[in-house]
Structure 1
């Protein structure tokens, strides 16, 4: 994956790689960057390639300039299958499965993934933000899980949301369907930082560059361990993470990093 900006052929996604930072830009503003079949396939394919590309150190998911970051599932696409013989059951099952797989792909991805949110993130769009490792938003961004307003509880977005916000905060969003502003989203734990709109790219790039300067092996080990231990009991988490630390200590990058620290020099990462 060369250092270049491209629109992936036949897809609604833009891709640009510079200095180890891969930006994947949702680029269907006329469809509110909905997670259509094409959008999900594009994101999944791009993330798969990024996971295998040593030139990619950090991934940023953002959206083309506009009022909407991501509006969730493409309701027109879903509704078109109401006329299927099974009233859409097979299609709905497939789409929900694809979306769930995409969110899990983000969590299990070997590279850190940052959401850069400059607009509305609603339903599965809010799920996308919650699934990323970090999220930085503008002071104009809003977030909601409004399925309850149209008779469709945001059950799959709930999985990611409830792993960011507290139970009562998550239920507040899910039961009311009301939007929350960036400040409330930060209080809930859904995003990390709020910045003025004009500084979003600068701040996100700064964060990404700091992360990209670390050992890629260490980041991979740490991200995997973080999500694994979060689902364990306290005792199991400590036992698991102690073993992770041992294996990490034996890695060449840990040897190099500790040596560089003691010798007061910059480390030279090998990714092993």
Structure 2
């Protein structure tokens, strides 16, 4: 039986949380500000993912946006209203901290992109483990249009697509559509808007059906090996597979495969 609960993460409800049978959806809820990543929003997101990281009942996280935009980046009015180096440093360090937490979470994170994702919003898509976009979605790192090079979004962008493709977006600020974003590796799947929720649900369900222990171990290894040399990466991967093979879930999965039955994973 499906059980769904929706709660406001913050008193002002700028971030909503919905739990539904192992899938937790966090929805940016500043539609009038195009879900911009204000200081308060970033703090709410960090608090939410820290809580989710400790919750073994959560198997997949979906990041979504309310209203006309997925996320339009940082709150430029807030940035101009706090025009000191100290505030800018605090803001971008906080944003970087949140982006890193997405990769450090034990659960896979899926971006549900229904519309525009610009600047830090495009960065947010790039730092999620997976992304499903509606064919109406568009992507840009448009800070350059107001004299601000999107340096931090460039970190995630350059780790998703080719260097020249990423740099072109950074220096032109031009939009790409969902199909082009998929071709460049920024998103995994593109579907018509009316099919977006169903496609996100299909992807999440596919992950929920797998061993939670194997997913946790695999995600941690995946990001570590990306920053290593080839030999070190293979050593880490080999050790991870050996340890994973000794786990109860792996034994159950192999036994189920041999017996031609569905495995019953326990996360051990």
After TM superposition, the score normalised by the length of structure 1 is 0.95
Report the equivalent of 1:46: 48
Matched, 1:193 2:193: no
Q: How does 1:1-272 map to 2 (within 5 A)?
A: 3-10=4-11, 11-66=13-68, 68-82=69-83, 88-272=84-268
Q: Secondary structure at the match of 1:22?
A: strand
Deviations 1:80-101 (A, max 9, x none): 112xxxxx11111111000000
C-alpha distance in 2 between matches for 1:164 and 1:92: 26
Contact map agreement 2:16 2:29 (CA 8 A) in 1: yes
CA contact (8 A) 2:10 2:44 kept: no
The gaps in structure 1 that reach 5 residues or longer are 83-87
Q: Give the secondary structure class of the aligned counterpart of 1:4.
A: strand
The equivalent of 1:85 in structure 2 is none
Deviations 1:45-102 (A, max 9, x none): 1111111112111000011132x110111111111112xxxxx111111110000000
Separation in 2, partners of 1:267, 1:49: 29
Rounded Cα–Cα distance in structure 1 between residues aligned with 2:203 and 2:127: 18
Partners of 1:51 and 1:140 lie apart in 2 by: 31
Deviation at 1:260, TM superposition (A): 1.4
Displacement of 1:33 in angstroms is 0.1
Cα distance in 2 for partners of 1:160, 1:9 equals 27
SS of 2:187's partner is coil
* Number of residues of Structure 1 aligned to a counterpart in Structure 2: 265
Structure 1: how far apart are the matches of 2:20 and 2:40? Answer: 25
Alpha-carbon distance in structure 1 between the residues aligned to 2:256 and 2:38: 47
Unaligned stretches of 5+ in structure 2? Answer: none
Large movers: runs of 4+ above 3 Å: none
Provide the rounded CA distance (Å) in 1 between the counterparts of 2:159 and 2:267: 30
Measured against aligned partners, the alpha-carbon deviations of 1:226-270 in whole angstroms (never above 9, x if no partner) come to 111111111111111111111111111111111111122221212
- Deviation by residue 1:194-253 (Cα, 9 ceiling, x = unmatched): 100001001101110110111111001111111111111111111111111111111111
TM-score calculated relative to the size of structure 2: 0.96
**How far apart in 1 are the matches of 2:168 and 2:190?**
21
Once the two structures are overlaid, the 10-residue window that deviates more, 236-245 or 124-133, is 236-245
